[in-house]
């Protein structure tokens, strides 16, 4: 079974600064996908970014980028130019290829962006 670990239960950052959220995972699989989801106070789960394990290039979506280290099984999320609207719970998630698209989530990191 896969496990996903987010070692930072809470983090805070000043508006306009950069913050990095950590995620490690444990798997014996070689083909998989990794995701970061954002959950604001509205409770809605919003996909932030995805990474396909066979791609060496790190995924980027506007102010959000990842540092994917496959050998180290590490998948961190960097948020640049933090905005107040980035305040949310962030979940790292793992999906094994061919597993009916089931997601295994980490326990989450609560990020607070301060003005």
Helix (H) or strand (E) holding 67, with range, is strand 64-69
Q: Which is nearer to other proteins, 14 or 62 (CB)?
A: 62
Q: Which is nearer to other proteins, 13 or 103 (CB)?
A: 103
Which of 111, 105, 114, 110 shows the shortest CA–CA distance to 3? 105
Does 102 contact other proteins by CB under 8 A? yes
Least gap, CB of 37 to other proteins (angstroms): 8
Which distant-in-sequence residues (6+ apart) come within 8 Å of 14 by Cβ? Answer: 82, 113, 114
Which distant-in-sequence residues (6+ apart) come within 8 Å of 97 by Cβ? Answer: 29, 31, 32, 33
Q: How many residues bind other proteins (CB under 8 A)?
A: 23
In angstroms, the CA 99 to CA 42 distance is: 29
| Contacting other proteins within 82-101 (CB under 8 A) | 91, 95, 97, 100-101
Does 7 contact other proteins by CB under 8 A? no
Give the residue carrying structure tokens 């980035």: 86
| Contacting other proteins within 15-74 (CB under 8 A) | 33, 35, 42-45, 47, 50, 52
Least gap, CB of 78 to other proteins (angstroms): 21
Q: Which is nearer to other proteins, 50 or 73 (CB)?
A: 50
């Amino acid at each position: 079974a896969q496990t996903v670990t987010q070692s930072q239960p809470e983090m805070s950052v000043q508006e306009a600064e950069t913050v990095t959220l950590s995620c490690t995972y444990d798997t014996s699989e070689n083909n998989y996908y990794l995701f970061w989801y954002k959950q604001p106070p509205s409770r809605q789960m919003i996909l932030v970014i995805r990474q396909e394990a066979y791609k060496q290039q790190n995924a980027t979506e506007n102010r959000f980028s990842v540092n994917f280290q496959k050998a180290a099984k590490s998948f961190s999320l960097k948020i640049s130019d933090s905005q107040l609207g980035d305040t949310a719970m962030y979940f790292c998630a793992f999906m094994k290829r061919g597993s009916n698209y089931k997601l295994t989530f980490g326990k989450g990191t609560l990020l607070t962006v301060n003005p």
